[in-house]
Structure 1
Amino acid sequence: MRIALLSYSTRPRGGVVHTLALAESLAELGQEVTVWTLGRGGDAGFFRPVDPRVRLAVVPFPDRPNEGVGPRILRSIAVLRAAFTPEAYDVVHAQDCISANAVDRCVRTIHHLDQFTTPELAACHEQAIVRPYAHICVSAAVAAEVRAGWGLMPVVIPNGVDAARFAAARPDTRHGSYLLAVGGIEPRKGALDLLDAYALLRRDLPELRLVIAGGETLFDYRAYRAAWEARAHELGVEPVVLGAVAHDELPGLVAGAAAFAFPSVKEGFGLAAMEALAAGVPVVVRDLPVLREVFGSAVGYGADPPSLAAALLRAVTEPDPTRRARGTALAQRHTWASAAARHLDFYASL
């Protein structure tokens, strides 16, 4: 089967990680897979090496100074549409709203639902739900949202996780004792609540540092970042903000954490938290239906800064071997091989 997987970036975001891992597992099953994406800012390849059995089509997408989010979205769609060759594939599978709008007919994975105020982005989000002819969600909770909001019936195929890569990691010791969050400083990741929870946590654990990794994004979160920095100053805390972390360094950074914080207000699955479980690190997540579905009793939960702080304190000071075993077993069950096989069955059903 000739399969095109479409993404919007070469850089490390959850949907891009998903796209590459799925492509490699489909290729392992003998399929002819090509990943199409936009090469932003001069990128000629992805943030990590890709199995050579997967073909790559990176479409140049040079930066334009002072370009707003709306025009950048429209240009992204137009550039990818102009380059893409749909007639070369049996299945076209888009992983985000930009790539779903860049083709006339596709399968779409809806990783999570969002609400946007930028008109172009709101239209992109809506059209990328209603225009595809078939839909996949990575959790039943998101699928239920799609059914309720649009009357569609997505199939549910959970994410995989490269559990062995994180389980084998040598813990990073450069930051001392630290609480880790991955995903950057943005509203969906609950970064302001994390600051408040960390300030409460330091009353009991004054030596614990907060380390934040990741955050490559298409959007402009400068105002939110400024509010976050002002709040950090007000609270008297100094988080370590690493930005994007090299692919080979991420497992060690995760494995070295005293606990992993995942206070997102919207998620579709929680791949970064699942990677932390694979590394044997205690995890505390926002109490959301989707995260209850995915993680069950393998993690701690909090609904606001005080309860997040309390759960994180327990995670750091009261290690629970039983919960840790549940977490590692859960991560090991979510394989990309299984996800790829289910995708192939779904493609065949179309």
Structure 2
Amino acid sequence: MTGPLRIALLTYSTRPRGGVVHTLALAEALVALGASVDVWTLARGGDGGFFRPLDPRVVVRAVPFPDLPDEPVGARIVRSIAVLADAFTPHATQDHDRGYDVVHAQDCISANAVLNANARLRATGSGGSGGSGHLASCVRTIHHLDTFSTPQLAACHERAVVAPSAHVCVSAAVAAEVTRGWGIHPTVIPNGVDAARFTAAADDRAARSSWADTLGGPYVLAVGGIEPRKGTADLVEAMATVRAARPDLSLVIAGGDTLFDYRGYRDEVLASADRLGVTPRILGPVEHGSLPSLVAQATVFAFPSTKEGFGLAALEALAAGVPVVVRDLPVLREVLGPTVRYAATPTDVAAALLTAATHRDPALTIAGRALATRYTWAAAGRAHLDLYHRLTRTSTTA
């Protein structure tokens, strides 16, 4: 192998979900360290590119993925895998005299697509790649583990854990789950945090009251949309108690674009909110440049997720100096330590939100900002490059 490592990172969407945010930041960290990086993605519904601009050194390969009305989730997953697998070219092409040295999938859809693409190329005898003479093995980041009832999703999830040749987790807690469930020992590489972007938004006095004015007063903010994993139902129940004591505080929910269909859960949550007298402001995806100020101007940031891999959004809120209340999960204890308030039930969440909103703790603010700055994408990029070099050395000597 000559020249810099040639790396393919694959993700399932162009839109601002946690795994996509991770993929883009990692790609930029890797090119800053001298690697050559292509990011492959499904461009859903006519998307032309990612939700934010990228370092021009990162090559974006967006595969068109038209929406089909009323397509069931299982069929959408199968089609997603097939479309990305058909487009992905891990081997040498006319544009490149060698294939990818590393192929790194960030979710179960893209991992299955890589596995299918490799199988197709081996079957046709066209799998030669670069100087090593074979296809690059699939590396998989397991951000968190899910339990699915849809057969296609369950199969996608299982194969994407078992079949890749190397695994990364962004926290030791999730890595331990993988080891207990499958006997696999992933490499742990924490995420980075773009702390400066959120700290700057908190210090921007000119924009300090813009979101509160727009939203009608102080607010508790949650991101990730309305879905089971984000614990939205518990948050709505907690907010009924909060508003009884602090009627000035509203609930604002941002984000939430996903391949999955959570309409049933959303309907249940909104019906519960109506019964409880909670009227959430649902913003949907927020423009990338506007998100830091939305976070920075929140009275409290609520993060009652039932499953997480790292807690990046909570760290961004800490960087902005905002009090954070999270679900009491081992992974969040690992990553966030004593810088946030923990809660296990809706009653606990309500109490923690009220305490955070009413009694600001300067020591927690200082500790939270310091913690957020310790997680950097430069460090994450270096750790990934170290792993890639180990894997390529092993591959060429095998």
Q: What TM-score, normalized by structure 1, do the two folds share?
A: 0.99
Match for residue 109 of structure 1 among 141, 144, 147 = 141
3-state DSSP class of the match of 1:48?
coil
Higher-Rg structure is 2
Equivalent in 39, 45, 61 of residue 57 of structure 1: 61
Match of 2:271 among 230, 235, 246: 230
Displacement of 1:92 after TM fit? 0.2
Using the TM superposition, give the Cα deviation of residue 44 of structure 1 relative to its aligned residue in structure 2, in angstroms: 1.3
Q: Determine the C-alpha separation between the residues in 1 that align with 2:305 and 2:356.
A: 18
Residue in 2 that maps onto 1:10: 14
Partner of 2:83: 79
1:147 to 179, 186, 189: 179
Q: Distance in 2 between matches of 1:73 and 1:338?
A: 33
1:231-255 Cα distance to aligned partner (Å, 9 max, x none) = 0111011110000000011000000
Specify the code of the residue in structure 2 equivalent to 1:218: L
Task: Give 1:65 deviation, angstroms.
Answer: 1.2
Aligned pairs (5 A) from 1:307-318: 307-318=348-359
- Residues 247-290 of structure 1, C-alpha deviation per residue, up to 9 Å, x if partnerless? 01100000000000000000000111110001110000000111
1:276 aligns with 2:317: yes
**SS of structure 1 residue aligned to 2:305:** coil
Q: 1:50 corresponds to which letter in structure 2?
A: L
Any idea what SS the aligned residue of 2:352 has? helix
Letter in 2 for 1:95: Q
2-structure distance, mates of 1:134, 1:123? 19
What is the CA–CA distance in structure 2 between the aligned matches of 1:222 and 1:182, rounded to whole Å?
A: 17
Q: Structure 1: which 5+ residue stretches go unaligned?
A: none
- Secondary structure of 1:86's counterpart equals coil
In 2, the alpha carbon distance for the partners of 1:100 and 1:40 equals 18
Q: Distance in 2 between matches of 1:258 and 1:66?
A: 38
Is 1:329 the equivalent of 2:363?
A: no
Q: Distance in 1 between matches of 2:112 and 2:189?
A: 22
Are residue 294 (structure 1) and residue 298 (structure 2) matched? no
Please state if 1:94 is matched with 2:105: yes
Structure 2 residue 148 is matched with structure 1 residue 137: no
- Aligned partner of 1:260 in structure 2 is 301
Structure 1, residues 90-110: CA drift from partner, whole Å, max 9, x if none? 000000000000012310000
User: Structure 2 CA distance, aligned partners of 1:208 and 1:167?
Assistant: 23
Distance 2:179 2:366 in 1: 34
Measure how far apart 1:312 and its partner are.
0.9
**Aligned-residue offset at 1:204:** 1.4
Which stretches in structure 2 are left out of the alignment for 5+ residues? 92-98, 116-136, 392-398
**Matched residues in 1 for 2:268 and 2:296: separation?**
30
Q: C-alpha deviations, 1:70-100, integer Å up to 9, x for none?
A: 1110110011011101112100000000000
| One-letter amino acid matched to 2:87 | A
Instruction: Quote how far apart the aligned CAs of 1:64 are.
Output: 1.0
Q: Residue 127 of structure 1 corresponds to which residue in structure 2? A: 159
2:347 to 289, 306, 324: 306
How many Å apart are 1:125 and its aligned residue?
0.4
Which position in structure 1 is the counterpart of 2:131? none
Structure 1 equivalent of residue 71 of structure 2 = 67
CA distance in 1, matches of 2:30, 2:182: 30
159, 164, 173: which is aligned to 2:196?
164
Number of the residue aligned with 1:211: 252
Q: How many residues align?
A: 350
Matches of 1:328 and 1:270 in 2, distance apart? Answer: 14
Pairwise CA RMSD of aligned residues?
A: 0.7
Q: 2:114 is paired with a residue of what secondary structure?
A: coil
Partners in 1 of 2:330 and 2:314 — Cα distance?
15
Runs of 4+ in 1 over 6 A off after TM superposition: none
- Percent of aligned pairs sharing the same letter: 69
| SS in structure 2 at match of 1:5 | strand
Aligned residue type for 2:279: E
Which amino acid is 2:147 matched to?
A: Q
